[in-house]
Structures are given as structure tokens and as C-alpha cells.
Amino acid sequence: MLKARHAANYRRPAPRIRVARIALLGMLGATFGWLALVNQIRVVGVGHIRAEEAIVSTLFEGRILALRATCNDRVAKGDLLALVGDPVRDHAYRGEMIAEETMARVRRIVQRSRIAVAGSLVAISERHAAAARRHDENAAALATAIEQAWRAEAVPLKERVAVLSARDRAREGLAEAEATLRRRHAELERLRAEMAAQTAGFAERVAARQVLAGLGGNEEIRAPFDGVVTECPRSLGDVIRPSVAIVRLQRAGSARIFVWVPAVELSRLREGMAADIVVSDSGRTLEARVIHLPLEVGPLPDSLRRYFWQNQTWQQYARIEVEPADPAEAATLPGDARVDAIIRLTRERWLPRDLMKAL
């Protein structure tokens, strides 16, 4: 009786409601099935780009007079990137050049005077040595004659001793005069060598000052290596201080992409698998492939953590390396940028167009 009463009160839903329920159940089943399938055909990871970079700056404060490089420009080693000038420094360089030239001229005059005095002393010493040499010859001749006369008992012993003493004093005077001449000759050669060294040194310093003055206080900023300009925060006419970045330069071919994936997914990965890389800053997407699998795992770096569960000790990650399929794209990758990676575990399959139409 209760069943009959319940059957009498029960009304079946309208056909439209039944269709909606069936469609909802079908969509839920397809969604969960698709998520399960996606989890089986791909591995998702996060990572960043590492590249060798250089911040190009100036050594002195100045104004940017010329800017030859802009973002994404390829440059070669030694190419001019910017020209920085300073009128105050230009005036200081020219003043230093004039002071250096004046000092070199004054030192040259002083050194020439010293050399002239030393040359005069050498000439005087030569005359003294010549006179001492003649006196020594005369004393030696007189001593020889006196010696012969004394042997013939023509002169007394006292006169012989006086002549021989005069001969010895003449020899001592000659030796002293020759020593003075040699000393003054050495002094003259030393002054000449010193003047030559000073002249060469002053010439180098004056030439260096002339080069600085010729630059007009301008400093040329050149590329330290072959690469790509990844950042150019300055513009023409900006006043910059020392060590402030003018451009950021990335060495060509140095960009490497490292991706961290869950350690539980490591056994499913193989070298050579295709991957899609998305650069977080620009949204740029490029194709890549896995080139290196790690031998150990560890926690996710702090710079890549986004969610609270990534900070758990039980959550371990493995770092793999991928490279872009196109080398030209690798040359323009920004250094130190975050990336998202989707590694495809299977190859893409293309369905026939007739089948897609039938579906």
C-alpha cells in the first residue's frame, strides 16, 4: 500500500532535466579523464635561465653623448656601446697637459745646465791632468839626470834627495788629477743618462696627457665580449655616476635553462624529450629538449617557490637542463629570468580530418 502511494506521488523529471544531468555527468567524467590523461603525457616544472652577463658602466661621472647600442642588439667585442663626456674633466685634462709640458721644459733646462757645468768641470780636469802629466815627465827627466850626476859625484846627496822627492810628488799629483778626471767623466755620463731617462719619461707622460686632452674628456664604453644587449636603462643625455649600469650585456651562447621537476617524475623523463618553455617576464614561448638528467635531488630553490607545499621537506625536486631547439633563440634569452616548462612524455599525434569532422 505504501509502495502504491509512493508510486502515485512520484513524478518522473522532465526530459530536458534528464538530458542536462547526463550532460553534466559526462562533462565531469571527461574533465577528470582529461586531467588523468594529461598527467600521464606531460611533466610540469619551474626553473630559470642562467647566463654570463656583464654590467657595462663608466669610470667617471659624465653625460651620455652617444648611445650606439639598444636592447636586443648583437655586438662584437670592442664595439662602441656609448660615449660619455664631462666638460669639467676636459678642462682638467688640458690644464694637466699644460702643467706637464711646462714641468718637462723646466726640468730639461735644469738638466742641461747641470750637464753644461759637469762638462766644464771635465774640461778643467783634462787641463789639470795634462799639466800634471807634463810636470811628471819633467820631474822624471830631472831625476834621471840628477841620478847620473850623483853617481859621477857631481852633485851632493841632499840635492839628489830633493829632486827624487819632487818626482814622487809629481807622480802623486798626476794620479790625483787622473782620478779626478775619471770621476768627473763618470758624473757627466750619469747626468746624460739621467737626462735621457727623464726626457723619455716626460715624453710618455706628456703624450698620455695629450691623448686624454684629445679625447676631450670623453670616455668610450666598448663591449668586453661578443654578446647581446639585454638591458638598456639609460638614454641619450642622461647624467650618470661611476659604476652605474649603462647597458647589460649577455655573452653569446652562455644562456642555459635549468628546470626543477618533482623527484617522483624523474623516472619518466628521458634525454631528448621535447619541452615547451614559457618565459615568465615576457610570456615568450619556445620549443626545447631535455639534454641532461641529474644524479641527485633536493629542495626547490627559494627563488622558485610559489606555493606553501613547495616548502615542505618531503617535497623533493630534481634539476634538469633543457636547451632551445633553435640556437638563434638561445642567443636572445634574458639572463636570470624565471620560466615554466611542460615536458611532453609522448610525441604529438595528428588525427585525421575526417575523424575530427565526424566527432
The pLDDT of residue 38: 44
The pLDDT of residue 35: 47
The pLDDT of residue 191: 86
pLDDT 10s digit of each residue in the chain, 359 long?
545 555 555 555 556 666 666 666 667 655 545 444 444 456 778 888 887 888 888 877 778 888 888 887 888 888 888 888 777 777 777 788 888 888 888 888 888 888 888 888 888 888 888 888 888 888 888 888 887 877 777 778 788 788 788 888 888 888 888 888 888 888 888 888 888 888 888 888 888 877 776 665 677 888 888 888 878 888 888 888 887 888 888 887 777 888 888 888 888 888 888 888 888 777 788 888 888 887 678 888 777 776 555 556 667 888 888 888 877 777 667 777 788 888 887 665 454 555 445 54
The residue type found at 197 is A
Q: How far is CA 232 from CA 18, 82, 175, 228, 284, in A?
A: 63, 11, 80, 11, 20
The pLDDT of residue 351: 47
The pLDDT of residue 215: 61
Query: Which positions ≥6 away from 232 have C-beta within 8 Å?
Result: 67, 69, 70, 71, 246, 247, 248
Residue 258 in contact with residue 278, Cβ under 8 Å?
no
Measure the CA–CA gap between 320 and 277, rounded to whole angstroms.
13
The pLDDT of residue 19: 62
Residue 81 in contact with residue 246, Cβ under 8 Å?
yes
The pLDDT of residue 161: 80
Q: Which of 311, 319, 327 is nearest to 292 (CA)?
A: 319
